[in-house]
């Protein structure tokens, strides 16, 4: 009965818990992105960010289901991404250009597209990263130096 007094329904409670989860994740990301560390370290976090899936409150499948089924949640996540994550990524790219850690040939748009490709495949990559440290090192090398580049 208390749930209904505060939230109106179990679904409304789930939405609030989900929004809180998203807000906490973004706060952690903001905190890390504002640390005084190299751009390379920040990018490694993004790539290797398994999001401690085993420790999190939600399984990725539940998150996807909630987002697909609920346009309000989908809009909330998109708004948070556009208003908070994208500006942090753009700030990091600018910093990388300024410090020489990111090539001036790389535009913010191409960097964001590339990062989105990696994020889209994060589940597959995360499983491979966990199984094989050598694979992790190779993928990070490809990301930072390309197929033919050198550190």
pTM above 0.85, yes or no: no
- Structural domain includes residue 151: no
- Structural domain includes residue 116: yes
Question: Could you tell me the residue range of the domain that residue 44 belongs to?
Answer: 7-145
Give the N- to C-terminal CA distance of the chain in Å, as an integer: 61
Looking at the chain, the whole-number percentage of residues with pLDDT higher than 90 is: 17
pLDDT digits (tens, 9 = 90+) for 90-132: 999 999 999 988 888 889 999 889 888 877 776 676 667 667 7
- Structural domain includes residue 23: yes
Q: What tokens were used for 68?
A: 């697909």
| Helices and strands (H and E) in the chain: how many | 9, 0
Distance, CA of 141 to CA of 62 (rounded, Å): 33
- Structural domain includes residue 150: no
- Structural domain includes residue 21: yes
CATH number at residue 126: 1.10.357
- Structural domain includes residue 25: yes
* Contact yes or no for 66/14 (Cβ under 8 A): yes
- Structural domain includes residue 1: no
* The total number of structural domains that make up the chain: 1
Distance of CA 5 to the CA centre of its chain: 35
């Amino acid at each position: 009965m208390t749930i209904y007094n505060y939230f109106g329904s179990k679904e409304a409670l789930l939405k609030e818990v989900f929004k809180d989860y998203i807000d906490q994740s973004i706060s952690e990301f903001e905190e890390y992105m504002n640390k005084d560390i190299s751009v390379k370290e920040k990018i490694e976090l993004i790539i290797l960010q398994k999001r401690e899936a085993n420790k999190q409150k939600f399984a990725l499948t539940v998150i996807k289901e909630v987002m697909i089924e609920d346009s309000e949640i989908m809009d909330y996540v998109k708004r948070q991404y556009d208003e908070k994550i994208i500006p942090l990524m753009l700030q990091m790219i600018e910093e990388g250009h300024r410090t020489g850690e990111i090539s001036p040939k790389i535009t913010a748009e191409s960097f964001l597209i590339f990062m989105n490709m990696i994020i889209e495949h994060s589940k597959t990559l995360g499983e491979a990263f966990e199984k094989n440290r050598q694979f992790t090192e190779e993928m990070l090398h490809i990301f930072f130096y390309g197929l033919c580049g050198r550190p």
